A and B are shown apart, each in its own frame.
Chain A
Amino acid sequence: MYAAATESLIKQAREIKEEELQRFCGRIFKLLHTKDVSGDTVDSLQRLNLIVSATKYARELPSDLVMKLQTLLRSSSCPEQLQVLTSSIIRESFPSSVHSLCSDLSHDSRTFSHVASVVLAQVSHILESRLSDGQISRHALPILSKMSTVYPEILTDDQVNLVSRKLVDWLRYASMQQGASMSSGGFFSGPRTRQPAPLTEVDGVVTGDFFTVLCLGQSYTEDQWMNMYTFSMIKSWLLHVPSYAQPCNDDRSEVDSSVMSMVSATSSSSRLLPPKERLREKAFEYCQRLIEQSDRKALKKTDTELQKACIVESVSIMDIICGEDPSYVYRAFPCIKALYGRLNGDLAYARALLPIAQFYLNHSEIAAVDSEAVFCQLFSHCPAEQFNEPMLAFEFVQFCLLNASVLQDRVANYRQSFPNILKFLAGNSSGLIAEFVELLPSLIASDTAIELLHTILDLPCLAAALDLQQRSACYQASDRSAWDQQGAKVAACLDAFRQPSYRGLFLYILRPEAGTGDTIDRLKMLHEILADMAESPRVVQCAQVVPVLLHVYFNTVTQKADEKMMNQLLLVLLERSSLVFSTHLQALCKLHPPLIVDQSREILEFASSPANIYSKEDFYTHVVWVIGEYLSVSYDPRCTVELITSFFESLEAVLFEITQVRQSASPPSFSPRLITVLMTTLAKLATRSQDLIPRVSLCLSKMRTFARSAPVMTCYSEEDTEEIITRAHELINLLKLPNVAQFVLAPSAGGDGPRWHRDTNASLPQGMRAVSGLLHRHSSSLPT
């Protein structure tokens, strides 16, 4: 598709020299002055078009050529291809060309607005006149729609009235007969044979009501085309054009040709309504008709897809109209309810459920209509069945985002359904992560927050399970060949998925609602079963988004968590520490230091096992740091000497074990930072229970030997080894003055993390160096 030839053509277009370009333009100028349009002219213009659009910086074209192009553009006899090319060239070339086209355009927005209103007046004039060549109106309408969207204040009341009346005509009173096709009849056919055939619905039945976009004909009349263009822009028009209050008196009378006229006070006197209100009424009727027409079974796939789009549009328009005028709500609901009844459970129409749900959300309170069933279907069923439809997933999540606060307050099962909603993310992590970063806070409820944390951590498992569920549904167990075709790893997982003994595990992971328990006991088993899927691309992408979600989760939760929740969170962190960022541990403990004492048993157990160092070094380092920082009577009066001593002894044992110097010892597999953090924490604990000071000094004195041992020297850099030795030395010196040490090693006001041990900007090393320096100078005068 994209070849080297394309690339070199672009290169040529970009690199064309200025003189060559001017020469080329000169040639084109001459060509344009010849009477006939030759293939050469078209070819040259195509090349010029490429040249001006290929660069980021605009190219300046000679002004005589630009003038000629503009003249060409404005001339009605110019063939379409030339018009298209000249229009594109003018747009892309040096911008002043555009300005000369619209004479007194300037940067001043007020002037621009005046010019725009002149353009608009011309457009309105075009719309009003009954030109035989209706092609002009076709394009006037999108232009008008665009301008009214971007500059709604530009339109005067009169213009809005005029346009509204015209739109009503096209929308509601278009011809009911097919257009005369070009080849209708012939020389010999009489008037009777030239009778245009009736229009049909999408299923072939002859149409009996007013014309809409879902009416089929061999060819269309001009006003039927306008009907289609009008419906295409009506939502935007209703949304953007400001309404006004005065009624209009000079309404033209016309025959209401509707066969099925609505029996209601509003419509029978609709002729008396001001144009804007009348347009609303007619748009409403149009939408109702479209919804009815969408029930028919279309013969062509294009039309079936159009029916779905029409449903979405119609419900949205009715939603807007009901928002502007609540009296419509009572007329709308029966229609919407019937529509919901029809579409409910039909997977092909799942996307159409969203505007319906939006309608219920916006208006069900006014109408006192029960919306529970709709939201139950939306949250409890839709995601489980259609998580892998990327478009539906996106729109669903956008719907949740748009309505997050209302959903939280009024729809009971929104937050309960987070396991289901997260399935969308599991099925399409890269596409939806940005949306979920914003959505996640709205899913956090105090009673299910812990379960949510586990679910986030299990997201890759969910992705794997969903994948297996899908494959399992596609392939019969007996069809071994299809099964095996997917690769041995996947086949093995599929087997596991089908086994009754693992049913409970999978049912839990794939559950639609929260509330059945925080997590399962045999999570480890599930991880093992699914281990073979760990490399599948979808699972990998999912794993990549988990840290981002955790970040959002902790930022939100720590703002409003109470003590009980914090305790539970800490336990989860310790339990599943390999996956969790250490910063969250720090944040949690900083917010609520008594946690250390509350969970001292679990923390102690974690910190005591060197195995945790090898598997989760970063997290382990943070745990040690947090102990040193917050295990103090100043943070929690329950912190006893016994507690401090037991922590001290455990950490001392760990430090001893990992720094044993043996002949055959292998180089350390942990970073030097762990050593310095352990040393510092031990020193901190010693200052709080000063009996421990001799023990820690002894321990620290062995660090030099450790650092200078052969395996360590080969493994760590010179600076790192020096730092360990220096730090040990400084700590020993500091501990000779326990009161000073207590001050220096007290928790830092900034509460910073275990900074890189050589970070000279952190206050602790600085403070210690200062004291050390002092000590060194006065060492001779100090008692030993």
Chain B
Amino acid sequence: MVSCFLIHTVCPVSALSAAESRILYARVFGPETGDADFTPEQRRLMQKEKLHVVARQARSAVALSREASGGLCVEAVLGEEAAALGEADSGMFSLGNAELFPHRSVVLWLGVQSLAFSLVCRPHENLLLAEGVLRNIARHCLEELRLLGPGAEMLLKSDRVDALLHRLLPHGQLLFLNHRFAFALDKEIASYVSK
């Protein structure tokens, strides 16, 4: 089971401090337990805070990984989604703070130029499958939202991300999709986007 999916920045954002990350899309697959003592308002706030912690840590992980590999970042443009994905760095780390995330969750991240796609997985998840799912979702996001272009479509067309998560990661369930199943779902997504 996946707890949440995030798309966030890994480039410097003028309005934020250097280590902060702007979350452009977040989807939490509830319910979360252990919050019985809080009001819904507090729970929502806590959830947002948790997401920011994840985004910050993932940003830091991306930066350190890129620094260590010393790789040059070639900026891909619209139409070069496959190349951008091929060049992307990826990794995983565990969320340490037991108070925020009691289940020792693992964060899987994929850094594509100035954005990162992060998946927070419950422990004992099939991380090999999760990696494949994350790449597939990232590919769709890059294509459907034209992320390699300059536009701000990401924010207003977030329903497309909802729709593709609905198919590729229903309620946080990772799916074992061979290329035929994946093709069928791709067609559904394409038909949603074209409407």
Binding site for B on A (CB under 8 A): 1-7, 9-11, 13, 43, 46-47, 49-50, 53, 56-58, 79-81, 84-85, 87-88, 94-96, 98-99, 107, 109, 138-139, 141-143, 145-146, 149-150, 202, 213-220, 225, 228-229, 231-233, 235-236, 239, 300, 302-303, 305-306, 308-310, 312-313, 316, 351-352, 390-391, 394-395, 398, 428-431, 434-435, 536-538, 541
- List the B residue with the shortest CB-CB distance to A427: B68
Complex CA–CA separation, A66 to B35 (angstroms): 25
Once A5-B152, A46-B157, A88-B158 are accepted as A-B contacts, the answer to whether A431 and B1 lie under 8 Å apart by CB is no
Complex CA–CA separation, A47 to B152 (angstroms): 12
Decide if A47 touches B24 in the complex (CB within 8 Å).
no
Decide if B176 touches A228 in the complex (CB within 8 Å).
yes
- B172 CB contacts on chain A under 8 angstroms: 142, 146
Decide if A2 touches B9 in the complex (CB within 8 Å).
yes
Closest Cβ of chain B: how far from A546's Cβ, in Å? 15
Interface string of B149-165 (1 = CB under 8 A from A): 01110111111001100
Residue in A5, A58, A312 whose CB lies within 8 Å of B44 = A58
Counting contact residues on chain B (CB < 8 A from A), the size range is 35 or more
B86 at the interface (CB under 8 A from A): no
B137 at the interface (CB under 8 A from A): no
Once A5-B152, A7-B15 are accepted as A-B contacts, the answer to whether A146 and B132 lie under 8 Å apart by CB is no
Decide if B128 touches A56 in the complex (CB within 8 Å).
no
- A50 CB contacts on chain B under 8 angstroms: 155-156, 158
Closest Cβ of chain B: how far from A539's Cβ, in Å? 9
Complex CA–CA separation, A49 to B181 (angstroms): 31
Decide if A391 touches B11 in the complex (CB within 8 Å).
no
Decide if B156 touches A1 in the complex (CB within 8 Å).
no
Interface string of B66-96 (1 = CB under 8 A from A): 0111100000000000000000001111101
- A225 CB contacts on chain B under 8 angstroms: 181
Closest Cβ of chain A: how far from B106's Cβ, in Å? 8
Residue in A47, A228, A310 whose CB lies within 8 Å of B175 = A228
Decide if B41 touches A79 in the complex (CB within 8 Å).
no
Once A84-B166, A88-B162, A300-B179 are accepted as A-B contacts, the answer to whether A3 and B152 lie under 8 Å apart by CB is yes
Decide if A47 touches B156 in the complex (CB within 8 Å).
yes
Decide if A434 touches B132 in the complex (CB within 8 Å).
no
Closest Cβ of chain B: how far from A21's Cβ, in Å? 17
- B182 CB contacts on chain A under 8 angstroms: 302
Complex CA–CA separation, A79 to B163 (angstroms): 12
- List the A residue with the shortest CB-CB distance to B12: A2
Find the residue from A80, A220, A429 having the highest chain B CB count within 10 A.
A80
Find the residue from B13, B67, B179 having the highest chain A CB count within 10 A.
B179
Complex CA–CA separation, A98 to B90 (angstroms): 36
Once A2-B13, A11-B15, A431-B64 are accepted as A-B contacts, the answer to whether A142 and B170 lie under 8 Å apart by CB is yes
Complex CA–CA separation, A139 to B171 (angstroms): 8
Interface string of B48-77 (1 = CB under 8 A from A): 110000000000010011011110000000
Q: List 8 A-B contacts (CB under 8 A).
A: A2-B114, A13-B155, A81-B192, A87-B162, A228-B175, A228-B181, A390-B91, A395-B127
- List the B residue with the shortest CB-CB distance to A231: B176
